[in-house]
């Protein structure tokens, strides 16, 4: 998948990404870098709205998993189970989020569990950046559900 294909997919499948003017800046098997301009994501103080920054980080993390699973486990659904977001400073310019697997996320075990059980969990982190400086940190735990697999029922999993 190319960065342009991912961006088109996000804008079509997740309309909020289009409204935020999310752009796919880099895409590799190890990381995804998404960017967004300040103007459509500004708050009443002239800085980036926290909901937009958290959304960009969530989209970057989700996109990393989506791209890694697209050919390995087609039809897998990804949902965000829980996340945390911390901020180091206000963002007063365009911003980006770079997602990567957390060091404790064993990808081969995740894939084996998904294959055997029809669902698996994995943790993804994202650094929020603006003007080449760290601005925040996101960590999310995602649940992957194999095509035709069991659903999570009432365990509180929300869509990414």
Do residues 58 and 160 lie in contact, with contact meaning Cβ atoms separated by under 8 Å? yes
- Torsion 77-128-15-49 (CA) sign: positive
Q: Quote the pLDDT of residue 144.
A: 97
Q: Is 150 exposed, middle or buried (0-12, 13-18, 19+ CB in 10 A)?
A: exposed
Is pTM beyond 0.85? Reply is yes
Q: Quote the pLDDT of residue 149.
A: 57
pLDDT tens by residue, the chain, 160 residues: 999 999 999 999 999 999 999 999 999 989 999 999 999 999 999 999 999 999 999 999 999 999 999 988 988 999 999 999 999 999 999 999 999 988 777 999 999 999 999 999 999 999 999 999 999 999 999 999 998 754 433 333 333 3
| In 73-132, beta strands by DSSP E | 77-87, 95-101, 119-130
Locate the domains of the chain by residue range.
Answer: 3-159
Give the alpha-carbon dihedral of 123, 21, 90, 56, to 10 degrees: -10
**CA-CA distance, 138 to 100, in Å (whole number)?**
11
Q: Which CATH class is domain 3-159?
A: alpha beta
3-state helix, strand, coil in the chain (%, to 5): 30, 35, 30
**CA-CA distance, 8 to 136, in Å (whole number)?**
26
**CA-CA distance, 74 to 89, in Å (whole number)?**
39
């Amino acid at each position: 998948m190319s960065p342009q294909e991912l961006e088109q997919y996000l804008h079509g499948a997740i309309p909020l990404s289009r409204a935020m003017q999310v752009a796919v800046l880099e895409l590799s098997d190890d990381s995804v870098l998404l960017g967004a301009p300040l103007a459509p994501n500004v708050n009443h103080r002239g800085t980036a709205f926290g909901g937009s920054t958290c959304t960009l980080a969530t989209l970057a993390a989700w996109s990393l998993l989506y791209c890694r699973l697209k050919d390995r486990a087609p039809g897998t659904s990804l949902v965000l189970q829980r996340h945390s977001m911390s901020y180091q400073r206000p963002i007063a310019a365009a911003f980006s989020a770079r997602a990567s697997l957390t060091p404790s996320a064993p990808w081969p075990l995740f894939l084996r569990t998904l294959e055997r059980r029809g669902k698996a969990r994995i943790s993804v982190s994202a650094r929020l950046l603006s003007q080449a400086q760290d601005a925040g940190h996101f960590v999310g735990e995602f649940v992957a559900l194999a095509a035709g697999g069991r659903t999570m029922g009432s365990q509180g999993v929300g869509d990414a």
